Amino acid sequence: MTKAIVLLSGGLDSTTCLYWAKNQGHECYALSFDYGQKHRSELNQAKIIAKAAAVKEHKIMQLSMDLIGGSSLTDDTLIVPNAGEQMGVPNTYVPARNTIFLSIALGWAEVLNCHNIIIGVSAVDYSGYPDCRPEFITAFQNLANLATKAGIEGNQFYIHAPLAKLTKQQTIQMGLSFGVDYSQTISCYRANTHGEACGTCDSCNLRKQGFKAQNIADPTRYISNN
């Protein structure tokens, strides 16, 4: 049985990836980050999901990215916009976030003698973040194999992005085929401490559209006044 580390935020995409990895036959290790995100209640969901999926280990790393700021997800002086409110890359972009998360996953992978890292990025229904594109994933995999003792010894690392070319609807289809319970997941950038979603941010909007396109009931728990 090969090992895999899955970056698990507690959202729809990363949860689908976790079940994809299980379905591939991997022994799964989940990695989450308490990185100063305003919507850190997602970590409660990540714990529930990791337990339900019976991962081998779930690690939550502390990382004070709020000390750096520069994103409305981590910086109190910036406001999370509604879907479509900002042109181009919205201010929910967290500078270098996926690079940082993958780097730490790489370190853990090398210690575990694990050579598969799975990340739930997609370049179809997404917010235009540069570190969600396939060329980023390819460049990171290239780096990983130059950066590590295992890599230069020929024990290659593979960065898997199984959702890379999927729409949100297709991601949901895939997850349902693996038995994902999407009521456990939270994708909202403004999630409250009860794990309820705003329904209006970009992430909520993409998720909503996915369930709508699939023509199934949206199991998301929304904040009641929305």
Nearer to a copy of itself, 107 or 179 (CB): 107
**CB-based contacts of 196: which residues, under 8 Å, 6+ apart?**
188, 221, 222, 223, 224
CB 20 within 8 A of CB 170: no
For the CB of residue 5, give the shortest distance to a copy of itself in the complex, in Å.
11
For the CB of residue 96, give the shortest distance to a copy of itself in the complex, in Å.
4
* Amino acid, res. 175: G
Instruction: Give the x/- contact pattern for a copy of itself in 184-213, rule: CB under 8 A.
Output: ------------------------------
Kindly give the interhelix angle for 12-23 and 168-177, rounded to the nearest 10 degrees: 40
What b/e readout covers 31-68, taking b as 16+ CB neighbours within 10 angstroms?
Answer: bbbebbbbbebbbebbbbbbeebebeebbeeebebbeb
Only one residue has tokens 């329904």, namely: 199
For the CB of residue 68, give the shortest distance to a copy of itself in the complex, in Å.
5
| Chosen residue from 13, 110, 196, 202 binding a copy of itself by CB under 8 A | 110
Residue 97 within binding range of a copy of itself, rule CB under 8 A:
yes
State the residues that interact with a copy of itself by CB under 8 A.
Answer: 59, 61-65, 67-70, 89, 93-100, 102-104, 106-108, 110-111, 130-131, 133, 135-136, 139-140, 142-144, 146-149, 151-152
